[in-house]
Structure 1
Amino acid sequence: MNNLMVLASVNAADAAPSPLSVNWSELLVVAVGFAILMFIVVKFVVPMFEKTFADRTEAIEGGIAKAEKAQAEASAALDEYKQQLVDARTEANRIREEARSEGAQILADLKEKAAAESARITEQAQTAIAAERQAAVVSLRAEVGSLATTLAGRIVGESLDDDARSGRVVDRFLADLEKQSEGAAK
Structure 2
Amino acid sequence: MPTTIALLAAAGEDQNPLLPATYDITWSIVALVVVGLVFWKYVLPMFQKVLAERTEQIDGGIKRAEEAQAEAKAALEQYRAQLAEARTEAAQIREDARAQGQQIIDEMKAQAQEESDRIVASGHSQLVAQRQQIVTELRGELGRTAVDLAEKVIGESLADDVKRAGTVDRFLNELETIGANSAAGK
Return the TM-score normalized by structure 2: 0.84
Aligned to 1:59: 57
**Partner of residue 99 from structure 1, selected from 97, 104, 107:** 97
Question: For structure 1, which segment, 19-28 or 39-48, has the greater mean C-alpha deviation from structure 2 after superposition?
Answer: 19-28
Aligned to 1:78: 76
Counterparts of 1:3-152 in structure 2, within 5 Å, are 12=10, 16-19=14-17, 23-152=21-150
Aligned to 1:166: 164
Superposed CA offset, 1:46-68 (max 9, x none): 22221222122112111111111
Instruction: Label 1:15 to 1:88 Cα distance change in 2 as closer, same or farther (>3 A).
Output: closer
Amino acid at match of 2:57: A
Instruction: Label 1:14 to 1:91 Cα distance change in 2 as closer, same or farther (>3 A).
Output: closer
The Cα shift of 1:166 comes to: 2.3
The Cα shift of 1:131 comes to: 1.0
Percent of aligned positions with the same letter in both sequences?
44
SS in 1 for 2:16: coil
Return the TM-score normalized by structure 1: 0.84
Superposed CA offset, 1:112-132 (max 9, x none): 111111111111111111111
Instruction: Label 1:101 to 1:15 Cα distance change in 2 as closer, same or farther (>3 A).
Output: closer
Instruction: Label 1:62 to 1:21 Cα distance change in 2 as closer, same or farther (>3 A).
Output: closer
Amino acid at match of 1:124: S
Q: Return the alpha-carbon distance in structure 1 between the equivalents of residues 47 and 182 of structure 2.
A: 131
The Cα shift of 1:21 comes to: 6.0
Q: Return the alpha-carbon distance in structure 2 between the equivalents of residues 93 and 148 of structure 1.
A: 80
Instruction: Label 1:148 to 1:53 Cα distance change in 2 as closer, same or farther (>3 A).
Output: same
